[in-house]
Chain A
């Protein structure tokens, strides 16, 4: 059992950090209790030192200027774990996972509750083929060579959250498809979070070897959604996606964290030669959600897709910071973010297309569209281009506005009441993103969550 020992005054001052020596001791204890190999503890501690040597964001940085400072804590605390990350030394009494995310057909599954494994399975064929889906700490014991090769292989941590994410994670998953293996159905990584348990750090590592194909659905849900918390819980997710040459990797993440959670994620994809990567994220919960998605094309001919969907309500702040980074020749990347904002919710999209001098024949596109359903809602899409090659095709488009009155009129002219008409247009608007999720059940889940989010009265159901 690992417990974060908090400084007495840190609860009142959210940005005050645990003393470095205490953090080192806690990380060591966490790693030991997971029975992790020494090299993994070394990785954690090295990441911790990196984090400690970095500065927190101040709000002056371009990609942080629109983030409300008081709503995203700058701190590192080890989260509470309700048992070892693989559940091996714990009782087996299953904690009921959220019904919303229960998957239908799947090739494999890992389900965790506050870092504790509650369920896992893997299709026989997939297991025979060498497909892996298991908690990260277990994988470190059972597949040390793979984890040592790939953990952190996307590059050095980008900032202090990212570095802490590699040091402090209490729950994580490793997903792997060997060379040439096609995983039939989606793999699921489902996390249920008890919001009262404080901060959480997640780590997801996905590797698709050459010519392989896999799709991972990452669902995050909060237990006790209605509990009123005394303090904002911080949740960071590190996601590392490695698509080797000619592979096809799909990753879809759907979250509905607790209403008071400050969620930040760092998703980094490395797209190999002629590989394709699809990243779809759907954000419904949290008080603040800042998603950072970085796609790196260092090889030629890759294809990358970023899809973001969100529905904001109340005073939610939903932010996407993305980078499509082209160094390889002739790769294509495409970003599409669509969001719907109600009440006084706010969105920011800061999207950068960066093409290095050697990234010739790149196709890179980005589109951000925000529908505002209430006067108090707002959105700030900021597409950016930094192009240093001369033979490329790039486009960007950004839009903020209300529902098209002509669309509403058309539906109303057929007898459909205004509220229903608006709902239809909004769902249609979002469906282009939801339809790209590689799993029918998950599409239904997204549909259902869209509906719940648009109808606050139903949120308590």
Chain B
């Protein structure tokens, strides 16, 4: 078994004074796709944002390791340059900043050196084509006036350009129609290789029809209450989260 690429070790996260993630552990090895599934309010977005280092989410215990190195004390930009990526559930619009300028800066930051214009254009056009996105798209301001589908595609575009080691996808499937979901999923699959790992965070099972997970975890009240293979997702689809929620209450009570 290859060494872990990404480890979440008994992670605890608080927002203001409320504890949301309660000692969550997870290990991703190169080449793996993990799915974390949970109902509303289970801590999915808190987990995603805290992994990337959002200042509003305070890590109160545990550790996050990328290639064996703790990233907990790193600011978000350092984590990103080290190879961590978050596909946002609600990408922020930044009026006045063009996509193309933003993408070029982001790519240069990830590489640690200025990317030549020619090379940038080439890579950009390739990824745009794959995602069936118009070249004019990058002339627009970052996420400004984008439809829900455009925002998600733009996230996948960044994933394809930045080539991170670990990609955390926060509800990337929400708000997508079936065609967009297929294109976005293909984008994820194209990116995926033996050298990186993907953590899909989702409410619904439907994206897992396109992106096959190796491991599925059920998140309830900020804890993983069950882990299994892809069949766990189907069970969730059939029976819902209810049975697991019962289980957690016991778990929480006993802890």
A413 interface residue per 8 A CB criterion: yes
A415 in the interface (beta carbon within 8 A): yes
Report the Cα distance A430→B97, complex, angstroms.
Answer: 10
A395 within 8 A of B: no
Kindly state whether residue B124 has any CB partner on chain A within 8 Å: no
Q: How many residues of A contact B (CB 8 A)?
A: 24
Q: Which residue of chain A has the shortest Cβ distance to B105 in the bound complex? A: A416
Question: Are B96's CB and A409's CB within 8 A?
Answer: no
For B233-245 the 0/1 string (1 means CB < 8 A from A) is 0000000000000
Q: Nearest chain-A residue to B88 (Cβ)?
A: A410
Q: Does A428 contact B (CB under 8 A)?
A: yes
Residues in B neighbouring A427, C-beta threshold 8 A: 96-97
A406-B92 contact given A414-B158, A418-B75, CB 8 Å threshold: yes
Most buried by B among A411, A418, A429: A411
Residue of A407, A420, A428 with highest tally of chain B CB at under 10 A: A428
Are A417 and B55 within 8 A (Cβ)?
no
Tell me if B109 and A410 are in contact (CB < 8 A): no
Closest Cβ neighbor of B158 among chain A residues: A414
B51: shortest Cβ distance to chain A, in Å? Answer: 10
Do B88 and A416 touch (CB < 8 A)?
no
At the interface, yes or no: B80 with Cβ under 8 Å from chain A?
yes
Q: Are A407 and B92 in contact (CB under 8 A)?
A: yes
The answer on a CB contact under 8 Å between B94 and A424 is yes
A425's nearest neighbour on chain B, judged by CB, is: B94
What is the bound-complex CA distance between A431 and B142, given in angstroms? 13
Q: Report the separation of the CA atoms of residues A416 and B67 in the bound assembly, to the nearest whole angstrom.
A: 21
- Cβ A432 vs Cβ B92 within 8 A: no
CB–CB B77/A415 < 8 A: yes
Instruction: Tell me the residues in window 110-137 of chain A with beta carbons closer than 8 Å to chain B beta carbons.
Output: none
A415 touches B94 (CB 8 A): no
Cα-based distance from A413 to B166 in the complex (angstroms): 13
B162 and A409 contacting across the interface, CB-CB below 8 Å: no
Within 8 Å by CB of A428, from B55, B77, B96, B110, lies B96
Least CB distance, A193 to chain B, in whole angstroms: 31
Q: Is B86 part of the contact surface with A, judged by Cβ < 8 Å?
A: yes
Docked CA distance A407–B85 (Å): 16
Instruction: List residues 415-459 of chain A with CB under 8 A from any CB of chain B.
Output: 415-418, 420-421, 424-425, 427-432
Min distance, Cβ A302 to any Cβ of chain B, angstroms: 28
User: Which residues of chain B from 7 to 29 have a CB within 8 Å of any chain A CB?
Assistant: none
Whole-angstrom distance from the CB of A202 to the nearest CB of chain B?
31
17 contacts between A and B (CB under 8 A): A404-B92, A405-B56, A407-B92, A407-B94, A409-B76, A410-B142, A411-B94, A411-B102, A413-B53, A413-B85, A414-B80, A414-B102, A415-B81, A415-B110, A424-B101, A428-B96, A429-B96
A residues contacting B by CB (< 8 A) are: 404-407, 409-418, 420-421, 424-425, 427-432
Known A-B contacts: A411-B94, A413-B79, A415-B110. Give 16 more (CB < 8 A). Answer: A404-B92, A405-B55, A406-B92, A407-B94, A412-B76, A412-B77, A413-B77, A414-B80, A414-B106, A414-B109, A428-B95, A428-B96, A428-B97, A428-B141, A429-B95, A430-B96
Q: Sorted from nearest, which 6 A-B pairs have the closest CB atoms? A: A428-B96, A415-B109, A415-B80, A414-B106, A428-B97, A431-B96
